[in-house]
């Protein structure tokens, strides 16, 4: 593949497998410097090694790991042009992390929120883009910011849909709060991708992701990574609009609540409180 005229440094979380690994390979082949982040040190190294890429491991179920990762990235990767918040999962039962948060909310939203905030000064300095992997499941999102992970109405699918809506709202809030400082952000749905996602759960998604027939109905990780790669290589304002939500490299419709700036602000403030950060000035 042709090398890009403007090679970028692109950090991808959840890159030890699935669309994260596929995107890392594609972006590396396109001439970018890819930094691979995953939960399993062994699997992450296996993806990074053939690419000659730097790699880091962190378990997003532990916020101490996220803080350590941010420190390591600040020291080893002084310039980040694109941060891809791709790590995530769906879980069988309601479980609290050692930090006291519902697991789905911490892994899918609070951890990437914290990582982005801890890297924010450098991202602003480089005029970076933040890309959040969301899902069509965001259409199911109905959360209240004051009661994230509510155990009275919890189900795996509801928790997952809530956090995928949060991924879109977070991108929208980043664009509103920091767009004038040069930061861009977007969220996207990769499609139904044949990966190991949900294959070990007991949710109905297991029959789609964990069976031969289900996987035949899905697209490859390489195809699923297409919109991620397009956003990472594109120019905000020319190729895509900051704060938007995309599918198949085009603006896509999703939950109407994804357009609710008051909800995005309330989620931002509650998230900052839960991870022990200042919410900063309100969005304009």
d(CA 116, CA 170) in angstroms, rounded, equals 10
Cα dihedral sign, 254-164-41-58: positive
- Residues marked active site are found at 160
Under 8 Å between Cβ of 7 and 32? yes
| Closest by CA position to 141, among listed 268, 276, 258, 221 | 258
Under 8 Å between Cβ of 198 and 92? no
d(CA 216, CA 48) in angstroms, rounded, equals 28
Tokens of residue 217, six digits = 């109905």
SS3 144: coil
d(CA 262, CA 131) in angstroms, rounded, equals 21
Residue 71 CB neighbour total at 10 angstroms? 12
Map tokens 């911490």 to a residue.
106
Under 8 Å between Cβ of 188 and 246? yes
d(CA 42, CA 45) in angstroms, rounded, equals 5
d(CA 210, CA 85) in angstroms, rounded, equals 24
């Amino acid at each position: 593949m042709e090398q890009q005229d403007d090679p970028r440094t692109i950090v991808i979380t959840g890159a030890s497998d699935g669309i994260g690994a596929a995107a890392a390979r594609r972006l590396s082949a396109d001439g970018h410097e890819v930094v691979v982040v995953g939960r399993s040190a062994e699997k992450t190294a296996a993806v990074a090694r053939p690419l000659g890429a730097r790699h880091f491991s962190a378990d997003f179920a532990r916020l101490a790991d996220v803080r350590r990762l941010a420190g390591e990235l600040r020291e080893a990767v002084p310039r980040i042009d694109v941060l891809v918040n791709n790590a995530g999962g769906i879980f069988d039962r309601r479980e609290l992390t050692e930090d006291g948060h519902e697991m789905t909310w911490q892994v899918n939203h609070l951890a990437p929120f914290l990582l982005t905030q801890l890297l924010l000064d450098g991202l602003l300095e480089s005029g970076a883009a933040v890309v959040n992997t969301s899902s069509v499941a965001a259409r199911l999102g109905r959360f209240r910011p004051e009661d994230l992970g509510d155990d009275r109405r919890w189900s795996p699918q509801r928790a997952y849909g809530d956090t995928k809506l949060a991924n879109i709202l977070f991108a929208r809030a980043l664009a509103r709060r920091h767009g004038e400082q040069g930061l861009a952000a977007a969220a996207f749905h990769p499609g139904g991708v044949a990966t190991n996602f949900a294959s070990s759960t007991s949710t109905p998604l297991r029959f789609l992701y964990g069976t031969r027939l289900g996987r035949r109905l899905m697209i490859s990780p390489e195809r699923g990574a297409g919109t991620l790669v397009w956003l990472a290589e594109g120019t905000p304002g020319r190729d895509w609009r900051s704060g938007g939500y995309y599918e198949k490299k085009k603006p896509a419709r999703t939950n109407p609540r994804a357009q609710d700036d008051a909800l995005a602000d309330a989620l931002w403030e509650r998230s900052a409180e839960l991870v022990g950060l200042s919410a900063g000035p309100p969005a304009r």
